[in-house]
């Protein structure tokens, strides 16, 4: 098994290889499997098991200061 590049945590947002957005609800099996809420339509989610190999990207949160 290849070494994992990033650790996925509970409540992280991810983009799946099929293009869907998902939120990790629970981390299983040493960061290799996850229970996730997968967006199937705007404001509609299905809960399902996904695997690290299904994830295309981790969505990072960035804080941007606003001008005062």
Q: For 32-42, write each residue's pLDDT tens digit.
A: 999 999 999 98
Q: For 4-53, write each residue's pLDDT tens digit.
A: 578 899 999 999 999 999 999 999 988 899 999 999 998 899 999 999 99
Residue 66, domain member (yes or no): no
Residue 67, domain member (yes or no): no
Higher pLDDT, residue 29 or 68: 29
**pLDDT greater than 60 at residue 1:** no
Residue 4, domain member (yes or no): no
Residue partners of 3: CB distance under 8 A and separation at least 6: none
Please give the tally of structural domains in the chain: 1
For the chain, counts of helices (H) and of strands (E): 0, 5
Residue 51, domain member (yes or no): yes
**pLDDT greater than 90 at residue 3:** no
Residue 29, domain member (yes or no): yes
Model's pTM, two decimal places? 0.81
Residue 7, domain member (yes or no): no
Strand residues in 10-54 grouped as ranges (E): 13-16, 21-28, 33-41, 44-51
Residue 65, domain member (yes or no): no
Residue 31, domain member (yes or no): yes
Count Cα neighbours of 7 within 13 Å in the Cβ-side half-sphere: 3
Which structural domain range is residue 37 located in? 13-59
């Amino acid at each position: 098994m290849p070494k994992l590049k990033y650790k996925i945590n509970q409540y992280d947002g991810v983009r799946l290889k099929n293009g869907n957005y998902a939120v990790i609800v629970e981390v299983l099996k040493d960061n290799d499997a996850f229970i996730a809420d997968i967006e199937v339509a705007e404001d509609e989610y299905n809960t399902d098991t996904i695997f690290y190999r299904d994830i295309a990207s981790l969505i990072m949160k960035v804080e941007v200061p606003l001008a005062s």
